[in-house]
Amino acid sequence: MAFYTPDIPAATLRAKYTTPASTFMGVEPGLQVHVRDEGPRDAPVLVLIHGSNASLQTWEPWVKRLSDSFRIISLDLPGHGLTGASPTRDYSPEGFVRVVNEVTAAKGLTRFAIGGNSMGGGVAWRYAAAHPEQITGLILVDAAGAPSKTKSDPPLAFKLARIPYVRDIAIKFLPRSLIEKSLHQTLAVQGVITPEMVDRYWELQRYPGNRDATVDRFSAGYKPAVASDLKGITMPVLILWGADDKLIPVDAAAWFSQAVPDARVTIYQGVGHAPMEEAPDRTAADVRAFLNGLQTPAAPDSPAR
């Protein structure tokens, strides 16, 4: 078919995008989850979950800044990155929570902090609500799930993905220019968008099975959360948001902060949907302070931040 963009062989992409920290964990039959485990093995653990059509590389700025003091585990969700398609085609938030739980169990983790961006933020808070006994702290970065009063303005790729039949065609052609345009629409700090970033998003979307997984996810629709969905979240929560996020508007941060009992919120002016990549120094410093606070509880008379 003219202009059809073919898949890239899994072996080619694994050779390009794995690092010495990469492993593939067979947590379910037919599913090999790409995981990176970085930092001191005896340090406090932070599990990080990427967003829709992203990959664990989105967390590299935090890993670079935090892995001196924390053990950071990141993974590619099914249908993303180097993990590839799920044999069961379960790309629901609940299915992602199950896979994350299987990874953490296989790692022998019993207490850890968890964080996520966008769709991955939705997975993170659902995990925390389902397994509160495991979670020391929750980090939400422009997280999905909140009902919003502000109309979002998603990038072109997301608009196409939400239109039946159109998405089935667009996903097969998938020009690099569409990925580049969508990144420029999603991120407010344009300087972080490099040719290498565009190539990574474009190429990993062409990992065998990932495009079909995208169609499955967007075909399933979207149901916003209600406050009772978060009732199990009693641990401290750090909410980080880009003020210029057009995909999940910043008013969602206020909804999350009101839905949980112990939340602190930081809004980054001039930042879009991926603060960990757009403002890595500021966000990593805020995360470090939050995680350090989990290890050393504040005195009862300490002023609120």
Q: What is the pLDDT of residues 278-299, one digit of tens each?
A: 999 999 999 999 999 997 544 3
User: Would 1 be classed as within a structural domain?
Assistant: no
Q: What span, in angstroms and rounded, lies between the C-alpha atoms of 212 and 168?
A: 9
Domain around 86: 10-295
pLDDT tens digits, one per residue of 234-259 = 999 999 999 999 999 999 999 999 99
Max CA pair span of the chain: 68
Residue written as token pair 């073919």? 6
Nearest one of 98, 303, 129 to 233, comparing CA atoms: 129
User: Would 301 be classed as within a structural domain?
Assistant: no
User: Would 2 be classed as within a structural domain?
Assistant: no
**DSSP code of 248?**
S
Strand partners, 113: 46
User: Would 90 be classed as within a structural domain?
Assistant: yes
Output the tens digit of pLDDT for each of the chain's 305 residues: 446 789 999 999 999 999 999 999 999 999 999 999 999 999 999 999 999 999 999 999 999 999 999 999 999 999 999 999 999 999 999 999 999 999 999 999 999 999 999 999 999 999 999 999 999 999 999 999 999 777 666 655 555 556 554 555 656 778 899 899 999 999 999 999 999 999 999 999 999 999 999 988 888 777 889 999 999 999 999 999 999 999 999 999 999 999 999 999 999 999 999 999 999 999 999 999 999 999 754 433 333 33
Token code pair at residue 263: 């939340």
Judge contact between 134 and 56, C-beta under 8 A: no
Judge contact between 138 and 236, C-beta under 8 A: yes
User: Would 300 be classed as within a structural domain?
Assistant: no
Torsion sign, CA atoms 243, 247, 250, 256: negative
CATH of the domain at 154: 3.40.50.1820
Q: What span, in angstroms and rounded, lies between the C-alpha atoms of 302 and 305?
A: 9
Domain count, the chain: 1
User: Would 303 be classed as within a structural domain?
Assistant: no
Residue written as token pair 């902090």? 113
User: Would 5 be classed as within a structural domain?
Assistant: no
Judge contact between 279 and 191, C-beta under 8 A: no
Q: What span, in angstroms and rounded, lies between the C-alpha atoms of 152 and 254?
A: 16
User: Would 146 be classed as within a structural domain?
Assistant: yes
